Amino acid sequence: MAAGAGGLFMTPEPIAIGPLTPAQLDDACEVERLCFATPWGREALEAELGRSSMCCYVSATLPSGRTVGYAGMWVVGDEAHIGTLGVHPDYRRSGIGERLLVNLLLRAARRGVGRVTLEVRASNVAAMSLYGKYRFRALGVRRGYYRDNGEDAVLMALEELDTERYQAFIADRADALDCAPGGEDS
């Protein structure tokens, strides 16, 4: 908390976006548990991190070292599939989900990806709005895709990641949000 001219206001904590590491798995599992009806367990996440050539996971970390969001994708050839994106409920609506997505898309672009797909629950207005902001379009519906409640999944795709126009757009967003990937190879 910091005092401003108009009174007290919250100073947003700086959040670091970077590769998800094994040391962050406990926090990532907690985020997973709080975000999803059928969360992945620690072993599944650990196995994902081990498959480094195909999988790419990024995290959002507070200065204290606590991880409050993470996202991941699989990359095969020039296609990527975003398998997960979640932000701890106490830290939502402060730009973390967007920064994770932008960072992930830039990493996909580095790997030569042109098309990115994902599935999202038909009721998930927040996530669909985020993906729409980054020009994902709904391609169709997978009926009864989610086993916990039989909900439909909307299949969304971003088809233009490898275009100059999109890369200029995403680079601008990364600058504005200060979330471009560093030089690490992931």
Ligand X SMILES: CC(C)(COP(=O)(O)OP(=O)(O)OC[C@H]1O[C@@H](n2cnc3c(N)ncnc32)[C@H](O)[C@@H]1OP(=O)(O)O)[C@@H](O)C(=O)NCCC(=O)NCCS
Catalytic residue among 119, 151, 159, 160: 119
128 within 8 A of 141, measured Cβ to Cβ: no
What are 4's strand-pairing partners?
7
Say whether residue 124 binds ligand X (CB under 6 A): yes
**Rounded CA separation 14/96 (Å):** 10
Q: Could you say whether residue 98 binds ligand X (CB under 6 A)?
A: yes
Q: Which two tokens stand for residue 103?
A: 């960072």
Beta strands in the chain (DSSP E): 2-4, 7-9, 16-19, 55-61, 67-76, 79-87, 115-121, 137-142, 153-158
The answer to whether 126 contacts ligand X (rule: CB under 6 A) is yes
Among 85, 104, 113, 157, binds ligand X (CB under 6 A): 85
10 Å CB burial of residue 139 (0-12, 13-18, 19+) is exposed
29 makes contact with ligand X (CB under 6 A): no
Q: Rounded to the nearest whole angstrom, what is the least distance from the CB of residue 114 to ligand X in the complex? A: 21
- The structure tokens 């830290």 sit at 91
87 binds ligand X (CB under 6 A): yes
Q: What is d(CA 170, CA 91) in angstroms, rounded to the nearest whole number?
A: 23
Does 119 participate in catalysis according to the annotation?
yes
Q: Applying CB under 6 A, does 127 fall inside the site for ligand X?
A: yes
Q: Please count the residues of this chain forming the interface with ligand X, following the rule CB under 6 A.
A: 20
Q: Are 170 and 109 in contact (CB under 8 A)?
A: yes
Footprint (CB under 6 A) of ligand X, residues 151-180: none
User: Does residue 20 belong to the site contacting ligand X (CB under 6 A)?
Assistant: no
Single residue of 86, 104, 116, 136 touching ligand X by CB under 6 A? 86
Closest CB to ligand X among residues 75, 127? 127
Residue 164 annotated to the active site: no
Report, as residue numbers or ranges, the catalytic residues: 119, 131
Q: Where along the sequence are the contacts to ligand X (CB under 6 A)?
A: 35, 85-87, 92-98, 118, 120, 124-127, 129-130, 133
